[in-house]
């Protein structure tokens, strides 16, 4: 039974991916690492900041990782100030549809900037629950972030659908025993193929579609 839909923020609700990528690229290249968009999607996107850095800067000590994380954060906040992120219209349309049908909605993002960004774009208060990078210890693909969201919504994991654009995010949703929709805005359908459903736009999603998806036996359960 469909009770809730949980959205990632970066790349799903807000078009912050280009800004994050620019900030990551600037930071990594300053430290001598080659960094392209494929590396961003495969190793960094969707993970807590330190985990993302450690997956590229292999073997770097904790102190240096923290320093690099602070640099990336500063670059990102500079970019946000210059170029405030846009909201994806297809996501807003789906959120409106869910609210009209009394389906609970949450944001679950690894970003510690989540509330700041949602407030800046004027949609902070429309969600029934918000989970940010400050609220959990184990990063995606660990399911903790989505389990916390379900607890705050007071719903069963199996009655939730996760909307994600990252490889690790989809894995986390699957690991939480939730249905997953991968949103491939960059033509990256194949890398999100572990989601229950992959779409290029959320305009394709209807309430009936979500209800049907939530009632199906899940091949990812327990995996």
Q: Which residues are annotated as a binding site for Mg(2+)?
A: 8, 10, 164-165
What residue numbers does the annotated binding site for substrate cover? Answer: 8-10, 24, 44-49, 72, 109-113, 140
Query: Which alpha helices (H) appear in 57-162, and where do they start and end?
Result: 62-82, 89-100, 114-120, 144-153
Place of tokens 């899940």: 218
Record the pTM: 0.85
- Asked if 13 and 87 touch (Cβ cutoff 8 Å), the reply is yes
Which residues are designated catalytic? Answer: 8, 10
**Residue written as token pair 């620019």:** 22
CA dihedral of 196, 144, 11, 205, whole degrees rounded to 10: 40
- What CATH number has the domain spanning 17-82? 1.10.150
Q: What is the pLDDT along the chain (223 residues), one digit of tens a residue?
A: 999 999 999 999 999 889 999 999 999 999 999 999 999 988 998 888 899 999 999 999 999 999 999 999 999 988 988 887 889 999 999 999 999 999 999 999 998 889 989 988 889 999 999 999 999 999 899 999 999 999 999 999 999 999 999 999 999 999 999 999 999 998 889 999 999 999 999 998 999 999 999 998 754 543 3
8 A C-beta contact, residue 69 and residue 93: no
Residues of the chain with CATH 3.40.50.1000: 4-15+86-215
CATH topology of domain 4-15+86-215: Rossmann fold (3.40.50)
């Amino acid at each position: 039974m469909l009770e809730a839909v949980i959205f990632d923020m970066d790349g799903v609700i807000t078009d912050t991916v280009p800004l994050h990528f620019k900030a990551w690229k600037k930071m990594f290249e300053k430290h001598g690492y080659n960094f392209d968009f494929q590396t961003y999607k495969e190793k960094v996107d969707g993970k807590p900041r330190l985990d993302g850095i450690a997956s590229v800067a292999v073997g770097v000590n904790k102190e240096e990782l923290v320093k690099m994380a602070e640099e990336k954060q500063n670059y990102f906040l500079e970019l946000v100030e210059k170029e405030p992120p846009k909201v994806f219209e297809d996501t807003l349309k789906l959120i409106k549809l869910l609210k009209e049908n009394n389906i609970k909605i949450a944001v679950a993002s690894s970003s510690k900037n989540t509330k700041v960004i949602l407030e800046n774009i004027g949609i902070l208060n429309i969600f029934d629950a918000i989970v940010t990078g400050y609220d959990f210890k184990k990063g995606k693909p660990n399911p903790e972030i989505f389990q916390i969201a379900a607890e705050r919504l007071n719903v069963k994991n199996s009655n939730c659908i996760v909307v994600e654009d990252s490889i690790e995010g989809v894995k986390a949703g699957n690991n939480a025993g939730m249905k997953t929709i991968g949103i491939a805005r960059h033509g990256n359908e194949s890398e999100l193929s572990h989601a229950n459903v992959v779409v290029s736009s959320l305009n394709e999603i209807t309430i009936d579609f979500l209800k049907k998806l939530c009632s199906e036996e899940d091949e990812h359960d327990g995996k």
